């Protein structure tokens, strides 16, 4: 019999994100207050741009072993070890965040999805070796298109590291492709981009499409164009920026208004 483990919180989260905001994915900046007796452990943490934050979901149930994803109940049940649900035998939360600022024992971070008052039990640096560029994952597609766009946007910013106009355009283009093909990380989905370096970089980052093993991504640099061709075992599609599309207020425009889209079924 293994003895129970005692864990002492090392800090606490201060956030606008409260118990009632459970369906929000994206969160703005929040702070982590490290308790004074642990502040010595922050020495040289500022050398890192990103950190793992490990918290304790103190308000969560611990007797639940199966749940349906809250972002899309239609997907059916998963065991909690196959999902990031709050409810689990040991309600530990794990999120990689950007370390924005440190002042004394207060860390300001970007992207932390923990609610106000969450006890923090550990902080670890995020290393490049932590990246697995193209893991196999089930497609937990949010039911709301707006939430899907937010998820793609977050993945795009994490990968590309600047919120340029081409990033917004690439997210919209990927939304259009997702409507046709579903899971953009699918191993049999290939994408060819003709456009700017930023457009190609963001589409590659969202689709996790490598140049080889398997070869899913190819690119032709042409800053005057913005198009992508997609292909899986059953369909092909070409998505190009509609010449008449006004790019002002790009973020607010639905992707349906931006592109010329052609789709072919391979059986035809
Ligand atoms: Zn860019």
For 220-253, the pLDDT digits (tens) are 999 999 999 999 999 999 999 988 776 777 888 8
Q: Which of 75, 106, 130 marks a domain boundary?
A: 130
Give a yes or no: residue 254 inside a domain: yes
Give the Å distance between the CA of 167 and the centre of ligand 1.
Answer: 6
Q: How far apart are the first and last CA of the chain?
A: 63
pLDDT for 116-136, tens place per residue? 999 999 999 999 999 998 888
pLDDT at 209 over 70: yes
Q: How far is the CA of 175 from the centre of ligand 1 (A)?
A: 18
Mean predicted confidence (pLDDT) in 169-194: 96
For residue 1, what pLDDT band results from cuts at 50, 70 and 90? confident
Q: How far is the CA of 63 from the centre of ligand 1 (A)?
A: 45
Using the mean position of ligand 1's atoms as its centre, give its distance from the Cα of residue 158 in Å: 12
Can you tell me the mean pLDDT for 189-195?
A: 97
Alpha carbon of 197 to ligand 1 centroid (Å)? 8
The verdict on residue 138 lying in a domain is no
Of 268, 210, 207, 267, the C-alpha closest to 239 is 207
- pLDDT, residue 26, reads 56
CA separation, residue 191 to residues 48, 124, 255 (Å) = 33, 36, 18
237 and 150 both lie in a single domain: yes
Q: How far is the CA of 168 from the centre of ligand 1 (A)?
A: 9
The confidence score (pLDDT) of residue 253 equals: 83
Residues 78 and 113 in one domain: yes
Note the pLDDT of residue 33: 98
Per-residue pLDDT at 244: 77
User: Is the pLDDT assigned to residue 213 strictly greater than 60?
Assistant: yes
- Could you tell me the CATH number of the domain that includes residue 181? 3.30.1330.130
> pLDDT per residue over 195-208, tens digit each?
999 999 999 999 99
pLDDT at 54 over 90: yes
Counting the structural domains of the chain, the total is 2
Question: CA 84 to CA 69: how far, in whole Å?
Answer: 9
- Which residues neighbour ligand 1 (ion) by CB within 5 Å? 162, 164, 198
**Would you place residue 63 in the very low, low, confident or very high pLDDT band (cuts 50, 70, 90)?**
very high
- Split at pLDDT 50, 70, 90, the class of 22 is low
**Centre of ligand 1 from the C-alpha of residue 18, in Å:** 33
Q: Are 192 and 228 in contact (CB under 8 A)?
A: yes
Q: What pLDDT, on the 0 to 100 scale, is given for residue 192? A: 98
Measure 203 CA to ligand 1 centroid, in angstroms: 11
Question: Are residues 113 and 39 both part of a single domain?
Answer: yes
Domain end, chosen from 67, 95, 130, is at 130
Using the 3D structure, point to which of 89, 107, 130 is the last residue of a domain: 130
Cα Rg for the chain, rounded, in angstroms?
21
pLDDT of residue 17: 82
Ligand 1 centre distance from Cα of residue 165 (Å) = 7
DSSP labels for 177-189? HHHHHS-TT-TT-
Query: Ligand 1 centroid vs 199 CA: distance in angstroms?
Result: 7
Q: Is residue 3 part of a domain?
A: no
What's the whole-number average pLDDT of the chain?
Answer: 92
Q: How far is the CA of 166 from the centre of ligand 1 (A)?
A: 6
**Domain extent for 243:** 145-265
What band does 24 get if pLDDT is binned at 50, 70 and 90?
Answer: low
CATH code for the domain in which residue 35 is found: 2.40.30.70
> What are the residues whose beta carbons fall under 8 Å from the beta carbon of 89, sequence distance 6 or more?
62, 63, 65, 80
Q: Give me the percent of the chain exceeding a pLDDT of 90.
A: 79
pLDDT digits (tens, 9 = 90+) for 89-107: 999 999 999 999 999 999 9
What tokens does 159 get? 């990968």
Q: State whether 47 and 109 are in the same domain.
A: yes
Helices (H), 120-190: 145-160, 165-181
Answer yes or no: do 123 and 228 share one domain.
no
Q: Do 123 and 150 fall into the same domain?
A: no
Shared domain for 21 and 122, answered yes or no, is yes
At residue 215, the 3 state secondary structure works out as coil
154-166 average pLDDT score? 93
Ligand 1 centroid – CA 172 distance (Å)? 15
Helix (H) or strand (E) holding 203: helix 197-207
């Amino acid at each position: 019999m293994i003895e129970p483990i005692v864990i002492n919180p090392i800090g606490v989260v201060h956030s606008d994100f409260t118990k009632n905001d459970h369906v929000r994915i994206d969160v703005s900046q929040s702070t982590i207050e490290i308790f004074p007796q642990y502040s010595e452990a922050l020495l040289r943490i500022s050398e890192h741009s990103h950190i793992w934050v490990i918290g304790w979901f103190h308000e969560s149930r611990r007797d639940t072993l199966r749940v349906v994803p809250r972002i899309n109940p239609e997907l059916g049940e998963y065991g909690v070890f196959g999902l990031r649900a709050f409810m689990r035998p040991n309600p530990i939360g794990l999120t990689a965040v950007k370390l924005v600022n440190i002042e004394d024992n207060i860390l300001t971070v970007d992207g932390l999805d923990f609610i106000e008052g969450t006890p923090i039990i550990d902080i670890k640096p995020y290393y490049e070796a932590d990246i697995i560029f193209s893991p196999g994952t089930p497609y937990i597609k949010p039911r709301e298109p707006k939430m899907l766009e937010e998820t793609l946007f977050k993945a795009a910013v994490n990968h590309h590291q600047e919120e340029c106009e081409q990033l917004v355009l690439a997210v919209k283009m990927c939304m259009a492709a997702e409507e046709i093909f579903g899971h953009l990380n699918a191993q049999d989905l290939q994408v060819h981009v003709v456009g700017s370096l930023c457009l190609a970089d963001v589409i590659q980052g969202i689709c996790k499409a490598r140049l080889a093993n398997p070869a899913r991504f190819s690119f032709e640099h042409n800053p005057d164009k913005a198009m992508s061709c997609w292909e899986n075992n059953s369909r092909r599609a070409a998505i190009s920026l509609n010449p008449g599309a006004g790019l002002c207020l790009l973020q607010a425009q639905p992707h349906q208004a931006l592109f010329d889209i052609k789709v072919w079924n391979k059986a035809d």
